[in-house]
A and B are shown apart, each in its own frame.
Chain A
Amino acid sequence: MPDIILTNVTKRFGKFVAVDKLNLNIRSNEFITLLGPSGCGKTTTLRMIAGLETPTEGRIMIDEDVVFDADEGINVPPNKRDVGFLFQNYALWPHMTVKQNIAFGLENLKWPKKDIEERVDELTLMLKIREFLDRYPSELSGGQQQRVAIARTLAPKPRVLFMDEPLSNLDAKLRTDMRSELKRLHKTTDSTFVYVTHDQLEAMTLSTRICIMELGKLMQYAPPLEMYQSPANLFVADFMGNPSMNFIEGKAEKTDKGVRLSSGGLSFAFTPNSALEAVPEQAVIGIRPEHVLISDEGGCPAKVYSSLPSGLETTIRLSLGEMMLTSVVFGGLDFELDSDVSFNFVPNQAILFDKGSGNALARGSLELV
């Protein structure tokens, strides 16, 4: 099983830098997600590893084979990289039946007829598309087409499977179903998955590790829960989680216990868990909505600006003078607009960021003074 190693991979389209000196190490059997907003270079990265796009600089290795090296002039074509690719729009061949779509690649690899039959059988059974074998793609629903595309991709048993936003064309319910199937597929096929999405929830729920990118640069590479709990910078903190993290922005001062932050006419005290080396002049403190607890009494006073109950949880916007905070309460609760409530911050859950560099500095507890 292969390791995929990217070293200083750069892709420029004219003056535009799509991917900037990316270093990435993907271990075998991982389920890696390349995550980021549109235009961040995630799809380009995936296509470069697959060999569909040629990097401008850098080196790519799959399983100790150099498949691309700009300095050496090596560029192994995609079909020799032993990879599978699942396209966003499925890219099923409209003039071939489901069976032909799956078998065409295998025929080309000169598989014996019997083996092809068996493989098509096996895949159509696994992906529950057996009854559609003789239909054309246009006669299938989106979800069925998706399954055919997966079957076609898996057919030659690739070492690595690349997926480019494969669920983005499906409706919400189907997407949830396919997510769990993909996760099972990863287990049963025992291969390495590299997955591209802009949906942080998809990345969170599927991957073993997430590689989050912005403007062609790697922002953080970590397991999902670690990324959620300890974002390396403001971009990651903001991108991960829905509803998104609360950010309190203002002038910071060093105190005996930690940091005092003034923002919107209010003053916050941040007590770090470990010693802080230096305090930036302008800082941002982030705290997740689920760590802003609503209580009936004994907290800081606030007004309910809006309340959005979903049944499973309720998202509440609190106004503290000019400032707004988001809080999430679990269970089927609702709050009257403009009613007075009080809230507390959960200890040890706030993160201090340097506003200038955007980097996380420390984790600690937050209090309204």
Chain B
Amino acid sequence: METIQRNQVKRLGRMTQTFLSKPANLILVVFLVLLTFLTLYPLLVLIFETFTVHSGREARAVGLPRGSYTDYHFKRLLFTLDDGGAMGVTYSNSWIQFYGPLLNTLSVAFTSSAVAILFGGTVAWFITRSNLKYKKFISGVFVFPYIMPAWTLALFWQSFFKNEFIGTGTSNGILASVFGIYMPEWFVYGYFPISIVLGLHYAPFAYILIGGILRNMDANLEEAATVLKTSRMRLLRRITLPIIKPAALSTFLLVFASSISAYSVPVFLGSPVRYYMLSTKMKSLMDTYSGQAYIIAAVMIMFGIVILGINQKVTGSRKSYTTVTGKSSQVSLVDLRKWNRPVAIFLVILMLLIAVLPLITFAAESVIIKAGNYSLSNMTLDFWIGTNLTYLDQGDSTGILLSGKVWKALFYSLALAVTCAVVAGTSGMLVGYAVAKKRGTKMANAVNSLAFFPYLMPSLAFGAIYLAMSVRVSWLNGFVLLALIGSVKYLPFASRSGLNAMLQLSGEIEEAGQIVGIPWWKRMTRIIFPIQKSSLLSGYLLPLVSCMRELSLFVLLVPTSNTLLTTMLMQYSEKGWAQFGSAINLLIIIVVLLINYLVNKLTGASIDKGIGG
């Protein structure tokens, strides 16, 4: 009896040892534990918070002490449909705080996804399948809106179209003051501009995902149909569109999920006219009724999970579609003939409008003294390099380039972005490696989903939960807290590009090293990394760029609003210090574009490699 037991123990020990001796297994186990703590535990905290009494105001409303259990938040937020009312107007808390914003969120998400796909997909088609002119310029500038912070376009839209008759309207934008054109409110604020701006911001997703398929699509597929005398339109409808359908659907879901949790765009373009989405509603409730805010966060996460589920189902079953033979490299380009020049010029102008004009606008805004007056006599470089600016009445007395505060924030932002990129990039590469090696096993699927999970967490809610967690863990504060949440939040990008890079690499390449006894770390550093260098580095670049321009994730967690450039910008625009705000905004955009350009030139890594694979 005893020997049998001892043998079993010995066997178990040997099996565990063999199991853990494989690096892929070890990585999976480590990340399973780590990610459970960093993503699932916060989720539990969030759910717990939806049943807890928080602040004084909540405690008064519920009539229970802080920290006790309550279902008040759910009742109040979801089931208070009729509060009575006054003067014949019924007042519904649930409608105002939840169902209305929910409806707004869904309609914005639908529209922006459609805009992204139509715009991004069309441009992708022109770039990959036609003989369009100025391709290089268009494709180069097209990803700008994604690299730039999301609020860039929103702020630009606002400062370009706003006028004194709408919204909080105190001053005229460029269009109104220079050309005397006054746009209606629906055009400047609310559903329409939010959908368009988000759609334009995420159009590069569509461009990269759909363009990737179109570029690699075996030309034989189309040629086979052409030989059968199919018309161009029919070809597009019956062959090309069905082939890109999975990618288009993926894009749709990705943009949909991203739009749901978008925060800065609806803040700038929605709040002035009280047009709320779930994200902005959550932020405003967070200070007063945080229990209800946490419920909204949970609902947003739920949407994310459902969307991820659909996405996996769709791409999972249609995977064979996207496999490309790589045999035929001859792509027959459609001759646009007389349409070539008009289309090209139209696209170039559009690119200038959405990618270059914002920069010019911010530059202009940062040098004018009195808002709305764009004459040269009203311009100054004081906001950049001035000293002793007491006449400005904008808090600071030096231009941003001479302000120690700004430089400190810039270095803090950079240090944070680099740390997050290193941690997320390396983790993502390891996760990608292990998941690719153990593809199909339960553990690999679990780790892969866990690593993607932070993507579904709305940044603001994620920040709020980590804030709650940091109260319980003493060492979790300051830089460590910011770096940790940034690394977790951007892990999905890194693990995606890591997985893509590893899947492109045939397993035999590593096995060939394994069989001659090359140890694991050497296989990673001498074989795998050098071969997939640019793809893997893209996994570092995405977190770096995203972190540099992140606002909503950090806004609740920074020690002071001067800590990061982005939070400083937020503070300045809240205080109405438009010139300093625009200058800092421009500074952030330039730094981000510069980093992207440098990394791209030095290593070949690029944003589109990271997303598209």
Of residues 500 to 553 in B, which have CB atoms within 8 Å of A's CB atoms?
Answer: 506, 508-509, 511-519, 522, 526-527, 530-531
Residues of A within 8 A of B531 (CB): 93-95
Set A73, A94, A95, A156: member contacting B516, Cβ < 8 A: A156
Set B10, B21, B506, B515: member contacting A52, Cβ < 8 A: B515
Given A91-B512, A94-B531, residue A73 in contact with residue B14 (CB < 8 A): yes
Set A71, A89, A91, A109: member contacting B11, Cβ < 8 A: A71
Q: Is B12 an interface residue (CB 8 A)?
A: yes
A148 to nearest B CB, angstroms?
11
Given A91-B506, A93-B527, A94-B531, residue A152 in contact with residue B515 (CB < 8 A): no
A73 to B10, CA, bound (A): 9
A88 to B519, CA, bound (A): 23
A146 to nearest B CB, angstroms?
14
> Is the CB–CB distance between A83 and B508 below 8 Å?
no
- Residue ID in chain A nearest B12 by CB atoms: A73
A87 to B507, CA, bound (A): 10
> Is the CB–CB distance between B14 and A72 below 8 Å?
yes
Q: Is B377 an interface residue (CB 8 A)?
A: no
> Is the CB–CB distance between B515 and A104 below 8 Å?
no
A65 to nearest B CB, angstroms?
15
> Is the CB–CB distance between B518 and A105 below 8 Å?
yes
Residues of B within 8 A of A13 (CB): 440
Given A73-B11, A91-B506, residue A85 in contact with residue B511 (CB < 8 A): yes
- Residue ID in chain B nearest A106 by CB atoms: B516
Q: Is A357 an interface residue (CB 8 A)?
A: no
A50 to B21, CA, bound (A): 17
Residues of B within 8 A of A91 (CB): 506, 508-509, 511-512
Set B11, B18, B512: member contacting A87, Cβ < 8 A: B512
Residues of A within 8 A of B511 (CB): 52, 78, 85, 87, 91
Of residues 1 to 35 in B, which have CB atoms within 8 Å of A's CB atoms?
Answer: 10-15, 18, 21
A72 to B519, CA, bound (A): 25
A95 to B528, CA, bound (A): 10
Of residues 470 to 525 in B, which have CB atoms within 8 Å of A's CB atoms?
Answer: 506, 508-509, 511-519, 522
Given A77-B21, A93-B527, residue A52 in contact with residue B12 (CB < 8 A): no
> Is the CB–CB distance between B18 and A79 below 8 Å?
no
Count contacts between A and B, CB distance < 8 Å: 74
Q: What are the 5 A-B residue pairs with the smallest beta carbon separation, nearest first?
A: A105-B516, A79-B517, A91-B508, A73-B14, A73-B15
A152 to B511, CA, bound (A): 13
A77 to B19, CA, bound (A): 11
Q: Is A337 an interface residue (CB 8 A)?
A: no
A158 to nearest B CB, angstroms?
8
A109 to B518, CA, bound (A): 8
- Residue ID in chain B nearest A156 by CB atoms: B516
Residues of A within 8 A of B440 (CB): 13
Residues of A within 8 A of B10 (CB): 73
Q: Is A319 an interface residue (CB 8 A)?
A: no
B161 to nearest A CB, angstroms?
52
Residues of B within 8 A of A174 (CB): none
- Residue ID in chain A nearest B14 by CB atoms: A73
- Residue ID in chain A nearest B22 by CB atoms: A77
> Is the CB–CB distance between B522 and A89 below 8 Å?
no
B192 to nearest A CB, angstroms?
50
Residues of B within 8 A of A80 (CB): 517
Taking each of B10, B11, B508, which has the highest tally of chain A beta carbons within 10 Å of its own beta carbon? B508
What are 10 A-B pairs at a CB distance below 8 A? A52-B514, A73-B10, A73-B13, A73-B14, A74-B18, A79-B516, A80-B517, A84-B515, A91-B512, A94-B531
A88 to B522, CA, bound (A): 23
Residues of A within 8 A of B13 (CB): 73
Given A85-B512, A91-B512, residue A105 in contact with residue B530 (CB < 8 A): no
Of residues 133 to 185 in B, which have CB atoms within 8 Å of A's CB atoms?
Answer: none
Given A71-B11, A73-B12, residue A109 in contact with residue B517 (CB < 8 A): yes
A10 to nearest B CB, angstroms?
17
Residues of A within 8 A of B14 (CB): 72-74
Q: Is A242 an interface residue (CB 8 A)?
A: no
A83 to B516, CA, bound (A): 8
A76 to nearest B CB, angstroms?
9
Residues of A within 8 A of B519 (CB): 108
Residues of B within 8 A of A348 (CB): none
Residues of A within 8 A of B530 (CB): 95
- Residue ID in chain B nearest A94 by CB atoms: B531
A75 to B511, CA, bound (A): 16
Of residues 175 to 219 in B, which have CB atoms within 8 Å of A's CB atoms?
Answer: none
Known: A52-B514, A78-B515, A87-B508. 14 other contacts (CB 8 A): A74-B18, A77-B21, A77-B514, A78-B511, A79-B516, A84-B515, A91-B509, A91-B511, A93-B509, A95-B531, A105-B513, A105-B518, A109-B517, A155-B516
Residues of B within 8 A of A108 (CB): 516-519, 522
A166 to nearest B CB, angstroms?
12
A72 to B8, CA, bound (A): 9
Set B21, B508, B514, B526: member contacting A88, Cβ < 8 A: B508
A344 to nearest B CB, angstroms?
48
Scan A139-169; emit 1 where CB is below 8 A from any B CB, else 0.
0000000000000100110000000000000
A124 to B415, CA, bound (A): 51
A78 to B516, CA, bound (A): 8
> Is the CB–CB distance between B517 and A89 below 8 Å?
no
